């Protein structure tokens, strides 16, 4: 296996690409009692239109297929996968987001047996007309639950405001109408397209034997030929925001708001994307973080409370910032924040250096937890970013970089507002 060693964090990651194209990464952590493995595919809710390898036609599937497929993968003819992990003393889970579906487990014993089970069940689909129809009812309930969640709605209303046509504006689970059109043939088509080993990655971390880990994976993964590139088809998204404001009334006691900013500098991954993401996050921390003058002002005036926060999502083809929480006067909060971004008085070198040191410390703490390591690795990997590039890129960022990024990204022209008001 190839090895990458980082002297500053004193950690190593070993890498092997199998003949079928599966990328395997192993990080040994001597002395750790917990082990963690995550098996992920580049297939998320955005991937509803594509040309599969070998096809000469476009396949378009209903919204929510990636999430639906994740649910169905845990069902086998003999019963539930969760029970099998539980019997081996492991805790299993999975998640689907806009770009990725991942299956994982954590354990303190029987690691290799659990790893074998993980590889086996993700490589063994079992879909029937009956179990697909049954799952529709379960997922429909989940969709209704999220539709009734004000925090979920204020978030997706913000994405609806930002985006005209890009699929990130759509709920990851789809709609009740869209999932009604899913059948086993659609699931198998997506499975054999996106769950091919060449489109997947497996990351394992803990006090584990590297050679034995690789052996278990090689013996249980599907032995197939590489399939070639999947052509994903996304619509051309205009630069401008779709709507400046989306308002909804729900059962809340205090209004909720999401002030969103659309990132228009997109279309690249790797170290450049990492650098941009860190610039935005440092700029946001300087502007509206808990130690900022702006946050203190908003808090002291009773305009925000402990729910106030921010987040930047930076993917290869899209990106956005969300600033939000509860507020008795969301529009006033928006105006104050927009004004602060125009004036940029929060941009000073001393604060920049302090926040940068904070992010260095935050990253180093990641290596204290096998879960944090694994989630960070997969999140970055799906953006073509190497985990070990994080610290060198962070060290390269200077005050001018952050000031320019704030100027280009956090401005009124790229902003939109989502508000949930109490029912009158």
Q: Is residue 240 one of the residues assigned to a domain? A: no
Say which of 70, 198, 237, 279 is annotated catalytic.
70
Tell me if residue 64 falls in helix, strand or coil: coil
Same domain, 170 and 215: yes
SS (H, E, C) 163-205: CCCCHHHCCCCCCHHHHCCCCHHHHHHHHHHHCCHHHEEEEEE
Give the pLDDT confidence score for residue 7 in this predicted structure.
Answer: 83
CATH number, position 27: 3.30.830.10
Give dist(CA 15, CA 26) in Å, integer. 7
Q: What is the pLDDT of residue 365?
A: 94
- To the query of whether residue 315 is one of the catalytic residues in this protein, the response is no
Per the domain annotation, does 145 fall within a domain?
yes
β-strand partners of 24: 16, 202
CB 74 within 8 A of CB 169: no
Residue 76: predicted pLDDT: 78
Q: Is residue 239 situated within a structural domain?
A: no
Quote the CA–CA distance of 238 and 402 in Å, as a whole number.
25
At 263, give phi and psi (nearest 5°).
Answer: -85, 120
**In a shared domain, residues 171 and 273:** no
Indicate if 91 and 223 belong to the same structural domain: yes
Q: What is the pLDDT of residue 204?
A: 98
Q: Which residue has the tokens 């079928």?
A: 20
Confidence (pLDDT) at 358: 96
DSSP 357-421: HHHHHHHHHHTT-HHHHHHHHHHHHTTT--GGGHHHHHHH--HHHHHHHHHHHSSGGGEEEEEEE
Q: Mean pLDDT, 10 residues at a time, over the chain (424 residues)?
A: 85 95 97 97 98 97 98 83 93 97 97 97 93 94 96 98 98 97 97 97 97 96 93 97 97 97 97 98 97 96 97 98 98 97 95 96 95 97 96 96 96 97 92
pLDDT at residue 135 in the model: 93
pLDDT value for 5: 83
Q: How far apart are CA 251 and CA 274, in angstroms?
A: 39
Counted domains in the chain: 2
Q: In the 3-class helix/strand/coil scheme, how is 103-169 assigned residue by residue?
A: EEEEECCCHHHHHHHHHHHHCCCCCCHHHHHHHHHHHHHHHHHHHCCHHHHHHHHHHHHHCCCCHHH
- CB neighbour list of residue 127: distance below 8 Å, 6 or more residues apart: 72, 184, 187, 188, 191
Tell me if 237 is assigned to some domain: no
For residues 203 and 257, membership in a common domain is answered with no
Is 265 in the same domain as 344?
A: yes
Question: How far is it, in rounded angstroms, from Cα 81 to Cα 290?
Answer: 42
Domain stop point among 232, 253, 280: 232
* Contact indicator for 153, 248 with CB cutoff of 8 Å: yes
Torsion angle, alpha carbons of 357, 360, 361, 366, to 10: 160
The pLDDT of residue 424:
82
In a domain, 94, yes or no: yes
Q: Give residue 346's pLDDT.
A: 96
How many other CB atoms are there within 10 angstroms of residue 188's CB atom? 13
pLDDT of residue 67: 98
* One domain, residues 198 and 49: yes
Last residue of a domain, one of 211, 232, 253: 232
pLDDT at res. 91: 96
**Cα–Cα distance measured from residue 125 to residue 139, given in angstroms and rounded to the nearest whole number:** 18
Query: Which domain range does residue 344 map to?
Result: 245-422
């Amino acid at each position: 296996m190839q090895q990458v060693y980082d002297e500053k964090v004193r950690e190593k990651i070993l890498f092997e690409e199998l003949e079928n194209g599966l990328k395997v990464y192993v990080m040994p952590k001597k002395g750790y009692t917990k082990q963690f493995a995550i098996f992920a595919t580049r297939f998320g809710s955005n991937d509803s239109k594509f040309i599969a390898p070998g096809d000469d036609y476009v396949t378009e599937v209903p919204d929510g297929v990636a999430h639906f497929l994740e649910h169905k993968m845990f069902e086998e003819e003999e019963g539930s996968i969760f029970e099998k992990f539980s019997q081996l003393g492991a805790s299993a889970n999975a998640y689907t987001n806009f770009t990725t579906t991942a299956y994982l487990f954590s354990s303190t014993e029987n690691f290799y047996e659990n790893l074998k089970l993980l590889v086996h069940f993700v490589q063994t689909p079992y879909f029937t007309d009956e179990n697909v129809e049954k799952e529709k009812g379960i997922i429909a309930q989940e969709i209704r639950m999220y539709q009734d969640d004000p925090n979920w709605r204020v978030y997706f209303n913000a994405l609806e405001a930002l985006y005209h046509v890009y699929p990130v504006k759509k709920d990851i689970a789809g709609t009740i109408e869209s999932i009604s059109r899913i059948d086993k043939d659609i699931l198998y088509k997506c499975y054999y397209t996106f769950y091919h080993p060449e489109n997947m990655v497996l990351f394992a971390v803990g006090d584990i034997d590297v050679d034995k880990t690789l052996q278990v994976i090689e013996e249980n993964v599907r032995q197939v030929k590489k399939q070639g590139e999947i052509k994903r088809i996304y619509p051309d998204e205009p630069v401008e925001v779709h709507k400046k404001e989306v308002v909804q009334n729900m059962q809340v006691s205090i209004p909720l708001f999401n002030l969103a900013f659309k990132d228009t500098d997109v279309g690249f991954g790797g170290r450049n994307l990492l650098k941009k993401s860190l610039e935005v996050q440092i700029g946001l921390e300087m502007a509206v973080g808990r130690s900022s003058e702006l946050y203190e002002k908003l808090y002291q005036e009773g305009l925000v409370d402990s729910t106030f926060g921010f987040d930047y999502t930076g993917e290869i083809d899209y990106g956005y910032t969300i600033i939000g929480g509860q507020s008795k006067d969301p529009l006033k909060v928006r105006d104050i924040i927009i004004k602060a971004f125009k004036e940029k008085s929060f941009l000073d070198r001393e604060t920049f250096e302090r926040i940068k040191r904070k992010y260095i410390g935050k990253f180093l703490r990641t290596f204290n937890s096998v879960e944090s390591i694994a989630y960070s690795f997969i999140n970055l990997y799906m953006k073509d970013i190497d985990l070990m590039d994080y610290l060198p890129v962070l060290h390269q960022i200077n005050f001018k970089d952050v000031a320019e990024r704030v100027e280009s990204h956090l401005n009124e022209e790229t902003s939109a507002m989502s508000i949930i008001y109490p029912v009158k």
